[in-house]
Amino acid sequence: MRFLQKVVRSLSRLLAAIGLITVLVITTPIVSSWARSYAGPIEQPNGEVLIVLSAAKDDNGGISYSSYWRARQALFAWQTGGFKKIVISGIGAPGMLNFLIAEGIPREVIVSEWRSTSTRENAIETAHLIQTMPGKKVLLTSDFHMYRAIRAFRKLHIEVAPMAVPDVLHSTEHWNGRFSAFETMLTESSKIIYYDFRGWI
């Protein structure tokens, strides 16, 4: 009987904690503030080489939600930032490549690779692709991903300026997108801890 009471109390505390977290996530700016701290300044730097990191590829071979927002920002950056080359890295690169070509960017200015399946591999593969490309490099990825990505690149001595895409920030504009954004931030935070442990950032 006493054991059952302890289980009930523990379960009640757990459910109360989950409820409190849910309320905080949905009704406060905690997730958007978290994303801003990872993104750094939301800026539009100019340069010669735009490095775009893809997110996961969807089941139909298209582009995922995050890759779509990154591709849209890459298109805008190409139209306004004076870039001469676009480098797309990651497993979702084919879908992003098709999107950018369909939107009018010449195929010959885009270099892509889709062997890399992690942020560290993005940096390693990109280092090979850009070694003969002169000029300022700009790294484009989602707000939640920028903290880890830019440090992974700089760890390999690839100097890049950040161009963070408001991805999680976009999701938090609507209350029904805030919990999934919170899950994204939790996942990314665990990856940052792992990368730091491995000495990759």
**CATH number, domain with residue 59:** 3.40.50.620
Q: What is the pLDDT of residue 16?
A: 47
189 is a domain residue: yes
Q: What is the pLDDT of residue 122?
A: 97
DSSP structure string for the chain: -HHHHHHHHHHHHHHHHHHHHHHHHHHSTHHHHHHHHHH-S------SEEEEE-----TTSS--HHHHHHHHHHHHHHHHS--SEEEEESTTHHHHHHHHHHTT--GGGEEEE----SHHHHHHHHHHHHTT--S-EEEEEEHHHHHHHHHHHHHTT---EEEEE-SHHHHTTSGGGHHHHHHHHHHHHHHHHHHHHHT--
Q: What is the pLDDT of residue 76?
A: 94
26 is a domain residue: no
Which domain covers residue 178, as residue numbers? 35-198
Q: What is the pLDDT of residue 20?
A: 44
99 is a domain residue: yes
The model's pTM is 0.85
25 is a domain residue: no
Looking at the 3D structure of the chain, how many domains does it have?
Answer: 1
18 is a domain residue: no
Low-confidence stretches of the chain (pLDDT beneath 50): 16-20, 24-25
120 is a domain residue: yes
Q: What is the pLDDT of residue 61?
A: 61
115 is a domain residue: yes
132 is a domain residue: yes
